[in-house]
């Protein structure tokens, strides 16, 4: 993406942390202060698009509360591992209260014997009994890939709650994890971050075209986000809350019926419809979603 942006004429400055924002007399964000090569600079802006990840500081400086309730984050640890036996065309997901409480373990292949192997656990669970996400990951790796080699390691926090209620303020928009745009069930945020960036760009173009970058005009971004993706977030959060009550045994039964899902349509709604058809008792648990006409 940066290559494409540079090709289209964007100036890209790397290793330049933003350390503050500037505002005009009307309280519109109109610039950023950043550090580069041990010196501080100010860059004047028409619009700031804050893509600075979880608990965005840039957003907070603009007056948007970007903090999370611990219940709305998962804590993740991941290894890039080589020399492991995997099915290179399949992503594996492991669920269970013992191996990944309130989360899951994933094995995402990147080649014949190389994969991202990671775990996410609930924010309120991390540290309980002295166990962190990395401890769950090490236990899994020891039993599943004892001879694998760790080539890289990352850890971090992903938002798994609803989207921020306010994505914009005068002269600024928040996108991606900064806007709490990761999927509330899977925690996957890369695709959503790209979509929110695209919608924010459309609002930025419009604001610059009409010469008005007030929150009122930039809210077009929020409307596009809600219409395409955000409207489902509340439902997905409700599914998440119901699914969190499932026992391991119920998960096993659900997984067994998933083999009956038509291959080409394996999205979240199809998965739930298939599970409900075979586990009608779950209808009681998920009745609010049925009433909302969502499944
Ligand atoms: C271990 C782990 C594994 C994951 N695996 C997946 C996966 O397989 N699939 C998926 O879809 N999602 C995955 N996610 C979630 C995904 O990484 C995020 O949702 C996604 O990266 C969000 O993109 P973003 O650009 O909004 O934020 P980020 O990727 O967090 O990028 C924010 C950037 O802003 C920079 N920054 C922060 N503050 C400043 C500042 N003041 N000035 C300048 N720069 C700043 C940071 O250094 C960082 O580079 C994973 C997350 C973790 C923690």
For 5-28, write each residue's pLDDT tens digit: 999 999 999 999 999 999 999 999
Tell me 117's DSSP state: E
Quote the pTM value: 0.91
* More confident call, 223 vs 278: 223
Residue bearing the CA closest to ligand 1, atom 18 = 189
Q: What is the mean pLDDT of residues 160-173?
A: 96
Residue bearing the CA closest to ligand 1, atom 36 = 52
pLDDT band for position 36 (cuts 50, 70, 90):
very high
Per-residue pLDDT tens for 106-157? 999 999 999 999 999 999 999 999 999 999 999 999 999 999 999 999 999 9
Residue bearing the CA closest to ligand 1, atom 33 = 52
Residue bearing the CA closest to ligand 1, atom 41 = 18
CA-to-CA dists, residue 164 to 77, 144, 291, angstroms: 24, 38, 25
Q: Which atom of ligand 1 is nearest to the CA of 181?
A: 19
Q: Which atom of ligand 1 is nearest to the CA of 76?
A: 1
List the single range of 78-92, 153-167, 232-246 with lowest mean pLDDT: 232-246
Extract the tokens encoding 178: 């900064």
CA-to-CA dists, residue 281 to 69, 97, 276, 278, angstroms: 31, 21, 8, 9
Q: What does the DSSP assignment read for 180-228?
A: T-S-TTT---HHHHHHHHHHHHHHHHHHHHHT--SHHHHHHHHHHHIII
Helix (H) or strand (E) holding 289: helix 287-291
The pLDDT value recorded for residue 238 is 80
Nearest to 188 by CA among 284, 59, 273, 93: 93
pLDDT band for position 268 (cuts 50, 70, 90):
low
In three-state secondary structure terms, 39 is strand
How far is 161 from 233, CA to CA, in rounded Å?
Answer: 8
- Domains in the chain (CATH in brackets) are 2-68+162-239 (3.50.50.60), 70-159 (3.30.9.10), 246-291 (no CATH)
Distance 237 CA to ligand 1 centre (A): 21
User: Best mutation site among 189, 193, 196 for ligand 1, i.e. most ligand atoms within 8 A of its Cβ?
Assistant: 189
Residue bearing the CA closest to ligand 1, atom 48 = 52
How far is 77 from 154, CA to CA, in rounded Å?
Answer: 6
Distance 181 CA to ligand 1 centre (A): 11
Q: Evaluate if residue 190 carries a pLDDT over 60.
A: yes
């Amino acid at each position: 993406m940066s290559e494409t942006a540079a090709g289209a004429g964007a100036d890209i400055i790397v290793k330049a942390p933003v350390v503050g924002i500037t505002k005009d007399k009307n309280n519109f964000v109109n610039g950023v202060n950043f550090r580069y090569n041990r010196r501080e600079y100010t860059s004047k802006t028409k619009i700031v698009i804050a893509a600075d990840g979880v608990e965005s500081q840039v957003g907070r400086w603009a007056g948007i509360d970007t903090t999370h309730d611990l219940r709305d984050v998962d804590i993740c640890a991941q290894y890039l591992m080589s020399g492991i036996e995997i099915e290179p065309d399949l992503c594996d997901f492991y669920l269970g209260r013992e191996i990944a409480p309130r989360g899951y373990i994933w094995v995402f292949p990147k080649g014949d014997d190389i994969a991202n192997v990671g775990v996410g656990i609930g924010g309120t669970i991390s540290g309980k009994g002295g166990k962190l996400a990395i401890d769950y990951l090490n236990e899994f790796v020891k039993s599943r890939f004892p001879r694998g080699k760790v080539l890289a390691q990352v850890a971090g926090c992903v938002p798994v709650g609803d989207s921020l209620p306010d994505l914009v303020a005068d002269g600024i928009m928040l996108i991606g994890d900064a806007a709490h745009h990761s999927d509330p069930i899977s925690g996957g945020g890369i695709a959503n971050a790209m979509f929110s960036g695209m919608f924010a760009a459309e609002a930025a173009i419009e604001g610059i075209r009409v010469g008005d970058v007030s929150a009122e005009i930039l809210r077009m971004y929020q409307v596009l986000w809600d219409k395409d993706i955000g409207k489902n977030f509340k439902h997905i959060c409700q599914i998440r809350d119901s699914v969190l009550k499932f026992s391991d045994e119920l998960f096993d039964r659900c997984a067994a019926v998933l083999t009956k899902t038509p291959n080409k349509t394996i999205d979240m709604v199809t998965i739930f419809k298939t599970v409900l058809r075979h586990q009608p008792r779950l209808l009681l648990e998920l009745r609010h979603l049925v009433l909302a006409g969502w499944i």
